[in-house]
Amino acid sequence: MEKNYRAELIGLFGDPVDANPTGVMMEVAFAHDGLNYRYITMKVLPQDLKTALDGAAAAGFLGMNFTMPHKIAVIPLLDELTQAASIIGAVNTAICRNGKWTGDNTDGKGFVCALRNAGTKLENAKVLILGAGGAARAIAVECALAGVSHITVVNRTQSRGQELVEIINSRTAARADFLPWTSGLAIPSDTDILIQGTSVGLFPDSDAVVDINYDTITADMTVGDVVFCPVESLFIRKAKNRGAKVIPGLTMLVEQGVFAYELWTGHKAPTLVMYDTLAKEFE
């Protein structure tokens, strides 16, 4: 058998990126599947993004991840977008085929997959999402595309929340409305899926928790969090204590990586291996 010393290259562009553990998860997955792939984490400043992307294409990179501050800025540098990325207005994953970059957003896909894996029905479900930032936006759009009937967007800044509502109403079949985030917010009893889409509770602020009335969470709800460190956030613990089915943020983080892995490699991702690897990183 002829030896091949050239690895397929996948990269991550961002700033800062020193504390981003995605590469560890991907490298372990590549090795598990016996794939000659390498994942390279790179600090790229905003003013260097176009040069870096052109260089990646010239060097034969197969795929990329983008983290802050590049998720929006990279869009005009790509050749095409998936439907979801176009609606969300942000890209975290791209693949290069025949010299052309296609951008996608796997954040929301990962959350929807985690919900389905937990046995939660999305079709005609009513969703309430706390926050309207990047992660919340991606999740809301993917939930709408997956068939939920109604999404309530709760945010402190009305303009940002209303913008997300208008995107859902104009570009998906779901209906959405805005609810101001008041202190001790009560979760409507007909909510099927409650999603905490802000960074509140993320390490090192692990004792922080969003301001809602936790007594209004019921056992009939599925409750998810985008916070992945600690592995079980205080928000998730409070929801679990109310008897709700819970989806921790680490599950979403892994599942969005699964989508990217399968897009780049064409192989089924070793999801459990990826989960265990990231869980150890956050111990």
Catalytic residue numbers, as ranges = 71
Rounded to the nearest 10 degrees, how much is the dihedral formed by the CA atoms of 104, 105, 106, 111? -150
Burial of 254 (0-12, 13-18, 19+ CB in 10 A): buried
Distance, C-alpha 233 to centroid of its chain: 17
CA dihedral (143, 110, 60, 73) positive or negative: positive
Q: Which residues contact residue 31 at a Cβ distance below 8 angstroms, ignoring those fewer than 6 apart?
A: none
DSSP percent split of the chain into helix, strand, coil, nearest 5: 40, 20, 40
Cα(166)–Cα(162) distance, integer angstroms: 6
Amino acid identity, position 79? D
For 105, the token pair is 């957003």
Burial of 98 (C-beta count, 10 Å sphere; 0-12/13-18/19+)? exposed
